[in-house]
Each structure stands twice: as structure tokens, then as C-alpha cells.
Structure 1
Amino acid sequence: MNATSPTGHPLTPARTQPAHTPPTVANSARPTVTELRLSAFRTHRGATFPLGPLTLFAGASGSGKSSALQAYEALARLGAGEELESVFPDPSACVPESAEVDGQGRRGFRIGCTVDGPAGPVQLDLAVQAEPELRVVGERLTSDGRILLATALRDPGRSTVQAAWHTAGAVAVTRAPLPDDRLGTALLPLRVAGKTQGQLQVLAAAEQVVVALRSVFACDPQPHRMREPVAVGEGRLRRGCDNLAEVLHRTRTECAIRHARLAAAARVGCAGTVQELAVEELGDGTVRALLGRGGARVATPLGRLGEGELRYLALALVLLTGPGVLAMDQAAEVPAAYQALTVLADGFDRCMDPRQARQLVALGAEMAARGHVRLVGTVADASYARGADGVTVVDLVT
């Protein structure tokens, strides 16, 4: 079966399960993605990657490091309810070059993940048709060897897939059409009543996957956009970190302890003797960040720092803050105590020297050990991270 073939897998018989109750922090882990599967995606075929609290993909250019993070981010955006077209603007580029066209002229790709949490390990697998038109052609949600949700493309002329999920009541299975441009798992909480044991199990599994996927912040600091003063707004750090000074203004005002930790990180990763990380309010209503260095009469604007220093400071800020300071779409209906922030950082060590990269990994490992954040990044060279406590290195080869 190629990547675009419908997945008409039968649902396994429902088993008796205890009634689902909201998890408590004391006896349940927060939902986290612990495995990424790229069955057929770009350069990857049949690839399975374990993800720890801090995971670094290492390898030469073209080995598929960035592709792995792109697949993870795509799942996260689909889990947040985005449409396929916005998540995959160039779907044909996601199809492995060796993928052949089937009898209907179709090609596609397959990605998936495993999410651990209160409901136990839950597997999500998605088959997407990229050609001749973009659409979901198959999705499976599996827990404890049982397929809880299965969708398949039955009628190519309709913009829907046929879905079936467990009911375990008077009717063992519920069948209904779902849109072929959305992740069915993300729609289940709106479609499943939650009145029977089977429905409660489906809801628990779906909600666990959605919470884990929506707790993702993809970060790619852009130094050339971080050098100018910025207007003060809501103080939530954007993906490119171009509003770094605005967020520093907020953390300096609202959280002295967090700001002090960031200043300590700056002393290690920035040149010279850094004494202070300050923010200056300018006459036009904008703010700019400054480094106070020992012996210097005038503080240095962050705009004069090198690219490695700016990326280092931005990523340190991300690791030291929480979802409330990051521009991300969390599951607002779920208490923060039930969510674990995961940062995706492609080119985690880009432009940095080994000292900066080593310090940043140490900071990430510390925050991960405390349960504050999980990190999945790509690096050109992971020699400084091998053997470090709490760090998983995934080596990719071309």
C-alpha cells in the first residue's frame, strides 16, 4: 500500500474500561509526544524516532534533520485545528522522490506520533494525498493495540472521509463523514458525546493527543530582525524573536527571578563582562534591550551583538519562560498544570560557538529535568551534547 491508499482497517472489539475521569497532576503524566514516525515523508522512509525531554537531531546537510521537525510542527498545527492547505503549502515537496504514482494518479506521504499521558500511549497515524489534490485519505488513532478511530477515503468525488469510532453502547461503532482537510482526531471532542465507556476512551485518547500537539512552540530566531527597537504590545515572544526587546521589557517588570536567570545566561554566552540585561524606553514609545558591561560607560544595544549572541539570548529566553510569554495557541480549556511545553528549534546551534551551544544545552536539560519544558532541536554537531544527562542525540545519515 502506498502513502495515498485508503486505510479501511476494521475497528477492533471494544473492551471494558473504567470510566474516564480528569487526570490529576499527582498520579498522571502530562501529555507529551514521545515518538515521531515518518513512514514516508521527504527523505524519510519507515523512520521512527524516540523523543526524550531534550532531543537533538544531528547530521550533515541533507540528512533529514529539518524534515523531522517540519513533520512534528505539521502535526502540531493540525492538532490545533488548522487546514491542510495552510500546513502544507507545497505538499508535493513532502512526498518521497521514490514514491510511485498509483493507478488513480495519486501520490502522498505518511506521518505519525505517539503521545504518552494519563490515557497511556496513544498512536496517531496520518496518510495524506498530495497529488493530484491535497486531502486526508486515512487516519488512525490507536491505544493499547485497539484502533479507536479509523478514517478512509471512500468517495474521491466528495470532500469527506468516512470515519468510524468506538461507541461500545447499543451501537458498537459510530460512523460519520469528516472533512478531508482537517485532522479527525482534533474534531472528535466536538463529535463524541462521551456517554458510554467506549466514547469516554476515545475522548480521553483524542484529548491527550490534541493537548500534547497544541503545547508546541516552534522557534527560529532571526537576528537581522532583532536589532531594531520595537513597540510595546502584549509581550508574547514571536516565532522569529523579532520582538525580543518587548518581551524582555515584560519579564524585567513582571518576573525579576526569571530576568535574573536570563542575565546570568547572558554573562556566560555573551562577550565581555556582562553585568546587566536592561531595557530602555525610547521617546517614540518603542523599547530596546541593552547589555551593561563592566568598565563600559555606555550600555551596548543588543542590535550591535553578533548573530550567535542574539540567537543564544533568544533561545535562552524561550527555555526560561512559559507558554504565557510565548506566542502560541495553547488548549485554553485545559489547566496549565496538565500541559507540557515543547519547543521546536531548527538550527539550535546555528551561528553559535561550542561554548554557547554547550551552555544552551545545559540550560535546556536543566529546565527539562524540572518538567518546565521539552526541547526538540536540530544541530550540525552534537559532540558537546553526547553523554550529557537528560539529552537524547539522534544521529541521521545521508
Structure 2
Amino acid sequence: MHAPPPPAGTRADPVPARTPATLRPHLTELNLSAYAGHRRVSLPLHRFTLLAGPSGSGKSRALEAYAALARLAAGADLAEAFPAPGTCVPRSARPDPQRRRGFRIGCTADGPVGPVRLDVAVQVEPELRLVGERLTAGGVPLLQSALRDPGRPVVQAAWHTAGAAPVTRGPLPDDRLGTALLPLRVAGGTDGQRRVLAAAEQMVVALRSVFPCDPRPERMRGPVEPGAGRLLPGCDNLADVLSRTREECGQRHALLVAAVRAGIAGTVTGLRAERDDDGRLRARVDRGDGSPATPLELLGDGELRYLAMALVLLTGPGVLEVDPVGEVPAALQSLTVLADDLDRSLDPHQTRELARLAARMCERGHIRLIGAVSDASRVAGAEGVTVVHLGA
């Protein structure tokens, strides 16, 4: 595995210039201190990162942890973020004298205020609760919480004030991420409080920009009801989103057609969605040779997954089902796509073409892609791709 970067706040070298891309809050590291099969693992995250390794090396579990942190940042409770918490506990973990077992995960987010690190400790047994949280920036603890009284559903928290008192103390619920709650608890009346709020917002924005995407060809073949044109994680409503992009952004749609042309067999001159007699939308591929357009249900699984991922990469935050923080300017918003089994059903040519498209879109700064692949050799040497190898 690649060596992890140094912890936030410990570098002595000059701080690099802040560019528009680095100003958009984004994760630079995922920390799996004790999670499922991972122990003391730090995964560096770049604009386009692929996790590679044999079956059982933990690729899917790493993406699962990332998605769970995103749900916590969006306000979900622990049960929503970790629907099967028992599977998150390391297999080698032994109960302490109070019969408690759990797991620890975290991440680092960069952005306008520089690197900010979040570490979370979750107890699973005997009951699910967040028992520790730490938010730090520049080596300064901005938020710390710990379980003091197991009989109460709260943790005792202390956040940076740097005013008349160095910290402010108070209880926080033991089933929610304290970092996401800070804007409701911190007044912002001192420089220290404003620093806490800025760091918490950066972390929340970086995590809430996540879109877990796993195109399901079996769901994409049938007609769909017209809707808001916001893509679902399984790409079930692909025809609806195609209709919206074709009507609202001709240039983006043309780029999509060009990208799809490289991954679908035969001639491709266009993509469109037509209404059936019952008003539902059905997507078709135009061939341009005088023959009838090809309905999507006739495409292979690999072709459908390629089409769906190309659509995800080319539509971006404006079309996908993302819940951005309203106070963040559009120029600073980005979308992080989590794609497990990115190369599933794709042939080597489709994998290489999709990697080229992803690298090109990620270079622009508004899209980031963190995926998992079974065969990293298909993208070996591709520009803009960082491959992180897991397992032996």
C-alpha cells in the first residue's frame, strides 16, 4: 500500500498556494483505524483514485466507510449510517471488561481553511452509540467528545473558544456526528469559535458531496416515469436524466454522445428519450444509418454500465441526487462519486475509455471519483489515475 501522507498540521514545508480546485472542500485521506478487516490503514485520496486488490482485500468496505461518514455528515443517526454495525467491528476485536466492542474510522478534508481531520469511535456492543469524536486543524483540537456516563444518551463535548475561556463544554447526543451539529451550538462570537465553525463546515461539505453510484442494468432497461431528472444511485431513471440533459444542455449532451460512442458497439449518432403511449420515458440509441433507434433494453450489461457512468461524470452536481450545503457558493461545490466494482461487466476497452473520461472530468475540479476495480492492469499508465493497492 502507498505510504500515508503525514498527519494534518505536522508539515514544516510551506503551505501550497490555494487554487480554485483546492478551495473546494474534498477528502484527501480515509482513515480506517479499526474497521472490519482494516487495521491502522490510511488511504490517500486524489481527484481520481481507484482501490485495487484481490477479493476480500477490503475495497468495498473502504468505500462503505466513506459513504457512512457522508451519511453522518448529512445528519443521519448511527443506525441509518451503519445499518449492519456488527460487520464493521474488526474480527480480532475482543470485548473490554465492560463487554464493549466497536470500531474507529476517520478522514481528512482539505479546503479553504486547510487540512482538517475527523476521527470517530463507535461502540457497537452492548449498544450502538458514538463514544468519541475529535476534530483537529493545524494540530489544534477544535472539538473533542467522550462518553462519561454510560447511563445517559449523551457524550460530553468540548469545543475550541479562544475567548474568555479556552473551551466551551456541553453535552451532545451519542447517536449523531457532533461536527455536523456544531453550527447549532457554536455562536461564532470569537475568532476561535469562527475557526471551529469554518472547519466543521469544510468537513461537512466535503462529506455531503458524495454520490454512491452502482448502475444496475436490470433496472435501466425498462421505461420510467418522468420525474425531476435527478439520477438515482442505481441509475434506474436513466431515461429521465437523458431527457433532461438533452433538453437543457445541448453541449453537455453532445459530449455524452461522443463519450458513449467509444464504449457501445456499432455506430452511435445520438441518445434520446421518447414517451410511450402511457407517458413513460424509454431511452434509445440513434444509429444514423436509416435503421430504427436501438432501445436501451437491447444493450448489454457492460454497455449500460458504461453509459450510466459516462452520464454521471458528465452531468455533475447539478443533475445528481446530492444535498449541497446552501451557504456554499456554487463555484466551491464539487461532487465525489463512489463507484464500487467500477469495471464490473466492462471489457478492457470500455474500462480504459471510462478511465480516460473520468480523468478528464476530474481534472476540471468539479468531479472527483473514488472507485474500486478488480483488475488495475486495465488502467495501468493512464494519466490522472492514482491506484491504491490493498491486500497482498
Please name the residue that 2:322 is paired with: 328
Name the residue aligned to 1:250: 244
1:69, 1:344 within 8 Å by CA — same for their partners in 2? yes
Whichever residue aligns with residue 272 of structure 2, its letter is A
* 1:344 is aligned to 2:338: yes
Residues 237-276 of structure 1, C-alpha deviation per residue, up to 9 Å, x if partnerless?
0000000000000001001111111111111100111122
What is residue 10 of structure 1 aligned with on the other side? none
> Which among 213, 237, 240 is matched to residue 234 of structure 2?
240
1:330-379 Cα deviation digits (max 9, x unpaired):
21232221122110001111100011011111001001111120000000
Question: Which residue in 2 is equivalent to 1:180?
Answer: 174
**Which residue identity does 1:187 align to in structure 2?**
L
Distance 1:230 1:179 in 2: 41
What is the one-letter code of the residue matched to 1:345? A
Matching residue of 1:365: 359
Indicate if the aligned counterparts of 2:235 and 2:308 stay in contact, CA closer than 8 A.
yes
**TM-score, normalization by structure 1:** 0.92
Aligned-residue offset at 1:295: 3.4
Question: Is 1:280 matched up with 2:242?
Answer: no
1:207 aligns with 2:201: yes
Distance in 2 of aligned mates of 1:376 and 1:25: 21
Instruction: Say if 1:54 and 1:392, in contact at 8 Å, map to a contact too.
Output: yes
Partner Cα distance (1:97, 1:25) in 2: 42
- Higher mean alpha-carbon deviation, 187-196 vs 380-389, is at 380-389
Contact persistence 2:24–2:111 (CA under 8 A): yes
Q: Is the 8 A contact 1:154 1:162 kept in 2?
A: yes
Question: Equivalents in 2 of 1:216, 1:35: separation in Å?
Answer: 14
Equivalent-residue separation in structure 2 for 1:50 and 1:81 (angstroms) = 25
Residue identity over aligned pairs, in percent, reads 65
Match of 1:42 among 36, 54, 61: 36
How do 1:185-196 and structure 2 match up within 5 A?
Answer: 185-196=179-190
Match status 1:123 vs 2:103: no
Q: What residue in structure 1 maps to residue 103 of structure 2? A: 109
Q: Contact 1:123 / 1:142 at 8 angstroms: preserved in 2? A: yes
Deviation at 1:27, TM superposition (A): 9.8
Letter paired with 2:65 = A
Check whether the contact 2:227–2:240 (CA below 8 A) recurs between aligned residues: yes
CA gap 1:190/1:394 in 2 versus in 1, 3 angstroms: same
| Separation (CA, whole Å) in 1 of partners of 2:115 and 2:32 | 18
2:57 to 34, 46, 63: 63
Per the alignment, residue 14 of structure 1 pairs with none
> Following TM superposition, by how much is the alpha carbon of 1:146 offset from its aligned partner in structure 2, in angstroms?
1.2
Q: Secondary structure at the match of 1:384?
A: helix
Q: Structure 2 stretches of 5 or more lacking a match?
A: 1-17
Partner residue of 1:383 out of 355, 377, 380: 377
Partner-residue secondary structure (3-state), 1:47 = strand
Matches for 1:143-182 after TM superposition, within 5 Å: 143-182=137-176
Structure 2 Cα separation of the partners of residues 138 and 228 of structure 1: 46
Name 1:92's counterpart in structure 2. 86
Work out the CA distance in 1 between the residues paired with 2:338 and 2:70. Answer: 11
Question: Is there any run of 5+ residues in structure 1 with no aligned partner, and where?
Answer: 1-23
RMSD between aligned alpha carbons? 1.3
Give the C-alpha shift of residue 294 in structure 1.
4.3
In structure 2, distance between residues paired with 1:103 and 1:118 = 44
Structure 1 stretches of 4+ moved >2 Å? 24-28
Q: Residues of 2 paired with 1:173 and 1:354: CA distance?
A: 55
Decide whether the 8 Å contact of 2:259 with 2:310 is kept in 1. Answer: yes
Secondary structure in structure 2 of the residue aligned to 1:393:
strand
Deviation at 1:99, TM superposition (A): 0.5
Deviation (angstroms), 1:172: 1.4
Q: Name the CA distance, whole Å, in 1 between partners of 2:384 and 2:23.
A: 17
Counterpart contact for 1:25–1:337, Cα < 8 Å: no
Q: Say if 1:25 and 1:338, in contact at 8 Å, map to a contact too.
A: no
Match of 2:10 in 1: none
